[in-house]
Structure 1
Amino acid sequence: MNLLGSGISELLPFFVRTSVTQNDSANGEALWEMERGFWLNDAAYYTTFLAPDCIMVFPEPPGVLVGNEITAALEQAPRWQTIEMENGSLVELDTRVTVLTYRAIAQRDGDLPYRALCSSIYTRTNSQWLLVHHQQTPLPPEQQTHMKDQNHGRKKNTRQADRHH
């Protein structure tokens, strides 16, 4: 017996876990498009689709940002011009909570690509999905090169979105 009593499996019935690929459901497609929007759009987009108590975790600086700190930091940062999302996974914990995980390759004008492992948690309030948590783990340079070599010549799992701001 462990600290949770008979085991973690007792907790699993509380969640309806369904893993789907990026485009398998209407909700899935909408959430992936929303996620792309957080990379490419401005502060007004964040105001619309960000939960008021959202937490975002980035490398230092800026580190951990909560609520209004997110939009304030966004106004000071240059926007991404492209984003590719690879190896995406969508897990519906229940009808109101969905988790996205993916590998991001983003680029700003004139900069080298930024590569990171990302996760986002969305919750549905009434009929609107809102982002409640986002986390990025940048890949070290040696893994970024290795990832590029692995993906060379292989079809990407998702579409690339180009947008100039």
Structure 2
Amino acid sequence: MANSKPITANKQELLDLEKAFWTGDSAFYAANADVECLVAFPKMAQAMSNADLAKTATKPNKWRDLDIKMKGMVEPGSDIVMLTYEAHATREDGELYAALVSTGYVHRADGWKMMFHSQTPIETGAKAQG
């Protein structure tokens, strides 16, 4: 039985999911990615199954000092939301990383699931001080 009530995305809920994808382990990815997810990184662009995507999260907490600045969010359908933001983080080796990030979510019976994720790196300095 379909629920006719429109779903409204909660911006904070989606940002919390985004932050958790940056630091989550494979179990988090398996629980929060859709059955199939389209990913686009500079050296990899493809559709990945939930299991294959979860296997990429072998090093939880490889990022620290994550800062997300929301740039925009649209809801093209009652169960789809796209967001884009600028992310700055420090890798575990101290290298600074910055990227323009876009993520798409689809609402399933058990909540929002990531179905699209893209990162375009932005130039930064080489290493964090301290």
Class of the TM-score when normalised by the shorter of the 2 chains: 0.7 to 0.9
TM-score in terms of structure 1 length: 0.63
- Give yes or no for the alignment of 1:48 onto 2:34: no
User: Alpha-carbon deviation of 1:64?
Assistant: 2.4
Q: How far is 1:58 from its partner?
A: 1.5
**1:13-55 CA-partner distances (Å, limit 9, x unpaired):** xxxxxxxxxxxx8711101110111001111110110001112
Bigger CA radius of gyration? 1
Q: Which moved more, 1:68-77 or 1:32-41?
A: 68-77
Q: Provide the secondary structure at the position in 2 that maps to 1:117.
A: strand
Could you give the per-residue CA deviations for residues 42-74 of structure 1, whole angstroms, max 9, x where no partner exists? Answer: 1111011000111221122xx125113222222
**138 and 27 in structure 1: CA distance in 2 versus 1, 3 angstrom threshold:** same
Change in Cα spacing, 1:76 to 1:109, as seen in structure 2 (3 Å) is closer
Which sections of structure 1, spanning at least 5 residues, go unmatched?
1-24, 146-165
The CA RMSD measured in Å over matched residues stands at: 2.1
What's 1:101 paired with? 84
| Displacement over 6 Å in runs of 4+ | none
Q: How do 1:7-156 and structure 2 match up within 5 A?
A: 27-60=10-43, 63-65=44-46, 66-67=48-49, 68-75=51-58, 79-139=62-122, 141=123, 144=124
Q: Which has the higher strand share?
A: 2
Identity %: 27
Q: Deviations over 1:63-103 (max 9, x none)?
A: 12511322222226872123111143111112200001011
Whether the 8 Å contact between 2:105 and 2:116 is mirrored in structure 1 is yes
Deviation for aligned residue 1:115: 0.5
